[in-house]
Amino acid sequence: MNNKKWLILTVSIVINLCIGFAYAWSVFSKPLMVDFGWTASQASMAFTINLFVLPIAMIFAGPLVKRFGVRMVVLLGGVLFGLGLYLSGMITTVYQIYITYGLIAGSGIGLIYSITVSNTVKWFPANKGLAGGLTAGGFGAGSLIFAPLAVQFIAVQGVLGAFQTLGLIFTGVILVLGIFIAAPPVSDIASLATAVATNQSAGNVTTREMLKTPDFYLIWGLMVLGCISGLMIISQASPIGQVMVGLSPEQAAFAVGFIGLANATGRVVWGTVSDKIGRYNTLIGMFALSGAGLVALYFTNDLPLFMVGIYLIAASYGGVFGLFPSITADNFGIKYLSMNYGVVMTGLSIGAFIGPQIAAYAVEKSGGSYNLAFIITLGINIAAIILVMFAKQKNAKHQMTLVEN
């Protein structure tokens, strides 16, 4: 079992690297705006729809797994993801890319991400933060690899040709690697879960039961707040760099790739740290560093400070996805984790709408400046820290009650 779980973890990370291409959207947005005459809001909406659909697909992944198994759902996700990208290379209107890149590719990402993260957490129940962080880290690192590659394809083939080529590549890779995905035997899940039961504060709670608890809405709210700043930066990193620091498209693509590195690092590091110092202490640190990054961007006029700012924000955003699978498992158990985490991840849908639209609103209101967006999202991060402190206090009282009983 030990050798197999490491193989599955490795394969899951590579598959998530492929779907992490979604985070390279900002290198496509400006060429699309130039070729089709779209506004910043129109272009960013495709990315927003993609991430809005992602958690919805995650919810459906649970029932699909029960019927078809984890391997088939991952393979289905690979087909949808690749097909969505390929069809994006055939669009003629903005509404078509909302369907291809947004709905179809986003659905594929949601199915794959849900299964790979929740499945690896089940294989590593004693180290949920580490396993979830590493798997989610692959998703975050996708733009590090594929943003520069996409720029090269765009230069040679045009933006539509790049979509088609990458769609074919990703479909092939995911279909080959997806064959190796497997769920741990039921007996192993039961025995491993029992072995770490002393570290759990909750049993296995169904999704319906979870929705009746105030803890879910608190966790969901933190998910929303944790996504806003990161998605604002990820969706607009290339334009922000070109407008505020005067970067070339190639330099801006490097910045997008750098975001991928930060995103991936944050998922692994914060997830691992949370196993040591606790989930809520980790969240406070994440929101504080994200706020510091926004302050850096507000005052930036050179490349080094710009890179520091986007790194802090992207690493903190990445930590959300290294941390919240563990938070969900800690509070509601691992048996129904795929569907439960999918529901928690609907907070991403809200963050995916708010973050990019804040940036677009700020640009259109100020004639090109992003400073208003940085101020708004800084306030959101401060509010999030206050909410985490409340959640931490509530959790401490709950733990005390358990001890007394």
Q: pLDDT tens for residues 164-182?
A: 999 999 999 999 999 999 9
How buried is residue 33: exposed, middle or buried, by Cβ count under 10 Å (0-12/13-18/19+)?
middle
Contacts of 347 (CB under 8 A, 6+ apart): 55, 220, 221, 222, 223, 224, 226, 227
CA 171, distance to chain mean position in Å, is: 20
Q: What is the pLDDT of residue 2?
A: 67
End-to-end Cα, the chain, rounded Å:
37
Phi, psi of 235 (to 5 degrees): -75, -20
Residue in the block written with tokens 């707040």: 225
What length is written for the chain?
405
Residue in the block written with tokens 């989610």: 136
- Quote the strand ranges of 180-319, DSSP E: none
pTM: 0.73
> Tell me, what amino acid is at 14?
V
- CA dihedral angle for residue 89, residue 92, residue 93, residue 99, rounded to 10 degrees: -40
Contacts of 145 (CB under 8 A, 6+ apart): 17, 257, 260
Q: What is the pLDDT of residue 252?
A: 76
Contacts of 236 (CB under 8 A, 6+ apart): 26, 40, 44, 356, 359, 360, 370
Q: What is the pLDDT of residue 186?
A: 67
Q: 47 is written with which tokens?
A: 């990315």
d(CA 160, CA 34): 13
- CA dihedral angle for residue 194, residue 199, residue 204, residue 210, rounded to 10 degrees: 180
Instruction: Give the chain's residues under pLDDT 50.
Output: 195-201, 401-405
Contacts of 223 (CB under 8 A, 6+ apart): 320, 324, 344, 345, 347, 348, 351
Q: 86 is written with which tokens?
A: 């390929």
> Tell me, what amino acid is at 237?
A
Q: What is the pLDDT of residue 82?
A: 96
- Angle subtended at Cα 125 by Cα 124 and Cα 131, rounded to the nearest 5 degrees: 45
Nearest to 343 by CA among 327, 358, 357, 355: 327
Instruction: Give the count of beta carbons closer than 10 Å to the beta carbon of residue 275.
Output: 17
Q: What is the CA radius of gyration of the chain?
A: 20
Contact between residue 173 and residue 53 where contact means Cβ atoms under 8 Å apart: no
User: Which sign does the torsion angle of CA 172, 98, 265, 252 carry?
Assistant: positive
Q: What is the pLDDT of residue 139?
A: 81
CA 97, distance to chain mean position in Å, is: 21
d(CA 142, CA 221): 26
Q: 380 is written with which tokens?
A: 């959101």
